[in-house]
């Protein structure tokens, strides 16, 4: 597992390779020690997702005099009772005006928020209309899939040529309903059925199977939908405005972008190494490559008509440092692939044409025998 901390601009600040069985919530204490003692950072705002939240982590961050922004799971939002019982009814008709009447403010036209204080924490309850529509649609699709699965599975069970195992049948149903988040909505049980089937020798034998009897709990379905579109941000920072808190959390996607680029473009995986030192070296090379990629993306964004970062990388990847080693000797010769006109033009636009100067190239080739 890799712990990675980046700046708001996307630059990697800290990374560490840890055993794969270490839960996310246990990595924070060591991170705090590194930020405070190793880097000497006295003031720090940590932004992280729900998976990092625990009472011990939040207390540790506060003890270090740092601030944090995160979000709560739906199971954690419900007990706070920040929303009116009739909240879903506010989402019909002119929902924006309905929410404003309840003290909500517009972050933008599809995201409204309201502040709440809770002990030593600050909560921002937010409603995202696009997320609400998506989650409502998902629930309807999952409900249809669950109904269709049970109908199809009942047919399969009724035509079984061999007896069915009860535990295996129950496990399959449970796993399917969990996949569609319908395990709390569907109340079901298996009814044993017995029938005779004809064998290849034209004799009869008994098959023990089942039929699924179920009901849909509409109250549970409604309860699940109560928090559709709802987010709850949590912070211990008493200075930031709600808009700043939401903005910081939305920029958390930078860390997800970083891991995506590390895994895809920079080929962090698959690992073909087993020794700890070599794994750490491989990760370090990938993270430093990501730093360069982030810097390239930033410079490209300044251009009027920038190429994509992948187009630029492909163009520059054709320029290589070549090394020829004499066998059974420490002697080697180095050279750099001659730059094309297209490469030179892009470097100039990026303000990096000094990299092609003789003084800079000589530093790269200082150990060359040429």
Query: What tens digit of pLDDT does each residue of 266-302 get?
Result: 777 777 777 888 888 988 999 999 999 889 989 999 9
Greater pLDDT, 77 or 16: 77
Output the pLDDT for position 288: 92
Span 157-189, pLDDT tens digits: 999 999 999 999 999 999 999 999 999 999 999
Are residues 28 and 61 in contact, defined by beta-carbon separation less than 8 angstroms? yes
Residues 6 or more apart in contact with residue 282 via CB below 8 angstroms: 268, 271, 273
Question: What gap in Å lies between CA 340 and CA 208, rounded to an integer?
Answer: 75
Closest CA to 189 of 172, 171, 166, 213: 213
Output the pLDDT for position 354: 87
- Where are the alpha helices (H) located in 116-252, listed in sequence order? 129-158, 166-179, 218-225, 242-250
Does this model's pTM top 0.85? My answer is: no
Residues 6 or more apart in contact with residue 120 via CB below 8 angstroms: 62, 236
Average pLDDT of the chain?
88
Considering just the CA atoms, what is the radius of gyration of the chain in Å? 29
Q: List where CATH 3.30.420 sits in the chain.
A: 2-72+111-120+236-289
Are residues 81 and 116 in contact, defined by beta-carbon separation less than 8 angstroms? no
pLDDT average, residue stretch 100-115: 95
Give how far Cα 103 sits from Cα of 132, 255, 308, 343, Å: 19, 33, 43, 56
Output the pLDDT for position 22: 60
Are residues 82 and 125 in contact, defined by beta-carbon separation less than 8 angstroms? yes
Q: Is the pLDDT of residue 201 over 90?
A: no
Span 241-261, pLDDT tens digits: 999 999 999 888 888 888 888
Give how far Cα 242 sits from Cα of 107, 198, 220, 226, Å: 9, 71, 32, 23
Question: What gap in Å lies between CA 315 and CA 63, rounded to an integer?
Answer: 49
Output the pLDDT for position 362: 79
Output the pLDDT for position 26: 62
Percent of the chain beyond pLDDT 90? 48
Binned at pLDDT 50, 70 and 90, residue 96 comes out as: very high
Are residues 230 and 112 in contact, defined by beta-carbon separation less than 8 angstroms? no
Q: Is the pLDDT of residue 369 over 60?
A: no
Q: Is the pLDDT of residue 370 over 50?
A: no
Fold category of 2-72+111-120+236-289 in CATH: Nucleotidyltransferase; domain 5 (3.30.420)
């Amino acid at each position: 597992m890799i712990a990675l901390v980046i700046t708001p601009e996307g630059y990697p600040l800290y990374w560490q390779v840890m055993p794969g069985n270490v839960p996310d919530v246990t990595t924070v204490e060591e991170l705090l020690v590194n930020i405070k003692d190793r880097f000497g950072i006295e003031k720090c705002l940590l932004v992280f997702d729900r998976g990092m939240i625990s009472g011990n982590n939040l207390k540790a961050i506060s003890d270090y005099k740092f601030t944090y922004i995160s979000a709560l799971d739906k199971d954690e939002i419900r007990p706070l009772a920040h929303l009116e019982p009739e909240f879903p009814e506010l989402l019909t008709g002119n929902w924006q005006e309905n929410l404003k009447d309840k003290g909500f403010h517009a972050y933008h036209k599809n995201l409204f928020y309201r502040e709440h204080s809770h002990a030593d924490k600050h909560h921002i309850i937010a409603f995202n209309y696009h997320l609400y529509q998506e989650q409502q649609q998902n629930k309807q699709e999952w409900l249809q899939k669950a109904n269709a699965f049970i109908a199809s599975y009942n047919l399969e069970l009724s035509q079984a040529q061999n007896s069915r195992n009860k535990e295996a049948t129950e496990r399959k149903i449970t796993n399917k309903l969990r996949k569609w988040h319908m395990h709390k909505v569907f109340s079901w049980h298996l009814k044993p059925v017995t029938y005779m089937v004809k064998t290849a020798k034209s004799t009869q034998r008994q098959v023990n199977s089942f039929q699924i009897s179920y009901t849909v709990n509409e109250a549970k379905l409604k309860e699940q939908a109560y928090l559709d579109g709802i987010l709850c941000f949590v912070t211990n920072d008493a200075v930031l405005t709600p808009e700043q808190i939401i903005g910081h959390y939305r920029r958390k996607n930078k860390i997800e972008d970083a891991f995506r680029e590390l895994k895809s473009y920079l080929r962090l995986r698959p690992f073909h190494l087993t020794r700890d030192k070599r794994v750490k070296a491989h990760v370090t090379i990938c993270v430093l490559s990501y730093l360069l990629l982030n810097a390239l993306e930033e410079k490209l964004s300044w251009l009027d008509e920038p190429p994509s970062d992948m187009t630029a990388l492909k163009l520059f990847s054709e320029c290589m440092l070549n090394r020829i080693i004499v066998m059974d000797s420490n002697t080697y010769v180095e050279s750099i692939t001659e730059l094309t006109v297209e490469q030179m033009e892009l470097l100039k636009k990026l303000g990096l044409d000094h990299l092609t100067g003789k003084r800079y190239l000589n530093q790269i080739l200082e150990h060359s025998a040429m």
